[in-house]
Amino acid sequence: MTDWSTAAIPPLNGKTAVITGATGGLGYETALALAGAGAEVVVTGRNEAKGRHALEMIRGEFPKARITYENLDLAKLASVADFVTRFAAAHASLDLLVNNAGVMALPERQVTADGFEMQFGTNYLGHYALTARLLKLLRRGDKPRVVNLSSLAHRPGAIDFGDLQGARSYNPWKAYCQSKLAMLMFALELQRRSDLAGWGLMSNAAHPGYARTDLIPNGPGAGGLLWQVSKALQPLISQSAAEGGLPTLFAATSPEAKPGGYYGPNWFYELKGPPVPAKIMPQAKDAVAAVRLWDVSATLTGVSFDQAAAA
Ligand SMILES: NC(=O)c1ccc[n+]([C@@H]2O[C@H](COP(=O)([O-])OP(=O)(O)OC[C@H]3O[C@@H](n4cnc5c(N)ncnc54)[C@H](OP(=O)(O)O)[C@@H]3O)[C@@H](O)[C@H]2O)c1
């Protein structure tokens, strides 16, 4: 069997996609490939200059690309709400949502505009609120899909319900692993809820293995020990951002992707290589914890899927 690549993406003309954190890294590569396949792509981010640059780069490769940039800061619930209001004013439906934006292992505890620990707030809670607010439009979409970015970091992760925000004790990696586990649990729970309520979604998740992006410089920082070690090992254990985007693109577009699926690279420890079904740790399959996390998230964000579904 030949390895899956962007050449296998079906034509996406007539489809609309929203990608978070798409001004760089994996999100940019995802936007590029989806636009190249004919989708109307809304590149979202928190930096307008980077957004403009991303559009120029995509148009450089695909002059006819149907792309726009919109501000969407996942660390501000008001920004999430504003984005959905603008998007809904211009679109009757949404076919694909890629919840990609993320920050990793911030050395000092930071908080979002709403007071959430930055990684839990950006990587997970912002996406929970965004997805709930977009549910109505997704339900009107053509075979709508939601793809959540998780990580190998979900494997050692645990949801610390006693200290979700790392307020009592902050550890950069514990917070990152928790946020990425939460994204995988959210993807699986969203599929279960969609099946029960008849929302008609395909909800799945992906991870890129180890892809060379700005994630380390933006988080633990270039120059630190992790950076030195990963720089030295990069040629062996990492892949490009474009290659790292393939599991997301598979989850988002392949007819072979399954509801509630999780996709990552095929090589040793899922570090690199073409996309295949990825290993889901038992704690990510804990449906009782997933319901608890869902309910806590609704309370924290003030956004309810049930209300959105009823609207
Ligand atoms: N690279 C890897 O090896 C790896 C491995 C596992 C999982 N992942 C996951 O893949 C996703 C993409 O990461 P990446 O590797 O492409 O890293 P990246 O190059 O640092 O890209 C992250 C993107 O998220 C955006 N972002 C950060 N905070 C945001 C916020 N508050 N609101 C909106 N956008 C925000 C960034 O925008 P700015 O440019 O404005 O900062 C950037 O566009 C993340 O969820 C990450 O956890 C990556």
The whole-number pLDDT of residue 308 equals 77
Q: Whose CA is nearest to atom 48 of ligand 1?
A: 208
Query: Residue 71 in contact with residue 48, Cβ under 8 Å?
Result: yes
> Which pair of tokens denotes residue 37?
């396949």
What digits encode the pLDDT tens for the residues 239-272?
999 999 999 999 999 999 999 999 999 999 999 9
The model's pLDDT over 17-29, given as tens digits with 9 standing for 90+, comes to 999 999 999 999 9
Q: Which of 19, 9, 142 is nearest to 72 (CA)?
A: 19
Domain architecture of the chain: domains with CATH: 6-310 (3.40.50.720)
- Write the residue with the smallest CA distance to atom 43 of ligand 1: 21
CA gyration radius, the chain: 18
Higher local confidence (pLDDT), 16 or 218: 16
Q: pLDDT-based confidence at 207, cuts 50/70/90?
A: very high
Distance set, CA 240 to CA 25, 186, 192 (Å): 9, 27, 33
* C-alpha span between 23 and 102 (Å, rounded): 12
pLDDT in tens, 114-173: 999 999 999 999 999 999 999 999 999 999 999 999 999 999 999 999 999 999 999 999
Q: Which residues partner with 276 through β-bridges?
A: 264
Provide, rounded to the nearest whole percent, the portion of the chain with pLDDT above 70. 99
Mean of all residue pLDDT scores within the chain: 96
Q: What is the model's pTM? A: 0.98
Ligand 1 atom nearest to 76, measured from its CA: 31
Closest C-alpha to ligand 1, atom 9: 149
Q: What is the mean pLDDT of residues 21-49?
A: 98
Distances (CA, A) of 303 to 60, 96, 295, 300: 39, 20, 10, 8
Across residues 96-108, what is the average pLDDT? Answer: 97
- Residue 3 DSSP class: P
Phi, psi (deg, nearest 5) at residue 295: -65, -40
Give pLDDT, residue 230.
Answer: 80
Query: Which residue, judged by its Cα, is nearest atom 21 of ligand 1?
Result: 25
Distance of CA 215 from the midpoint of ligand 1 (Å): 6
pLDDT of residue 213: 94
Query: What's the mean pLDDT in 103-124?
Result: 97
Q: Which residues line ligand 1 (CB under 6 A)?
A: 20-21, 23-27, 45-47, 50, 72-75, 100-104, 122-123, 149, 151, 207-208, 210-211, 213-215, 218, 244
Model confidence at 235, pLDDT cuts 50, 70, 90, reads confident
CA pair distance 225, 26, nearest whole angstrom: 23
For ligand 1, the distance from its centroid to the CA atom of residue 11, given in whole angstroms, is: 26
Candidate of 19, 20, 28, 46 to mutate for ligand 1, largest count of ligand atoms within 8 Å of Cβ: 46
- 134 contacts 155 by C-beta, under 8 angstroms: no
C-alpha 103 – ligand 1 centre gap (Å): 5
**d(CA 25, ligand 1 centre) in Å:** 7
**Does position 1 have pLDDT exceeding 60, yes or no?**
no
Please write the tens of the pLDDT for every residue from 277-311: 999 999 999 999 999 999 999 999 999 998 777 67
- What's the length of the chain? 311
pLDDT at 227: 79
Collapse the DSSP code of 95 into the 3-class scheme (helix H, G, I; strand E, B; otherwise coil) and give the result: coil
Mean pLDDT for 97-119 is 97
Identify the band that residue 55 occupies on the pLDDT scale cut at 50, 70 and 90.
very high
Residue 212: its pLDDT value, please?
94
User: Do the Cβ atoms of 175 and 112 come closer than 8 Å?
Assistant: no
Amino acid 159: pLDDT: 98
Residue nearest ligand 1's atom 27 by CA: 102
Distance CA(100)–CA(28), nearest Å, equals: 10
φ, ψ of residue 57 in degrees (nearest 5):
-65, -45
Exposed/middle/buried for residue 107 (C-beta within 10 Å: 0-12, 13-18, 19+):
exposed
Instruction: Give the pLDDT of residue 298.
Output: 98
Question: Which pLDDT value is given to residue 144?
Answer: 98
Atom number in ligand 1 closest to CA 238: 3
Active-site positions read: 176
* pLDDT score, position 110: 97
Helix axes 48-61, 25-36, angle to 10 degrees: 40
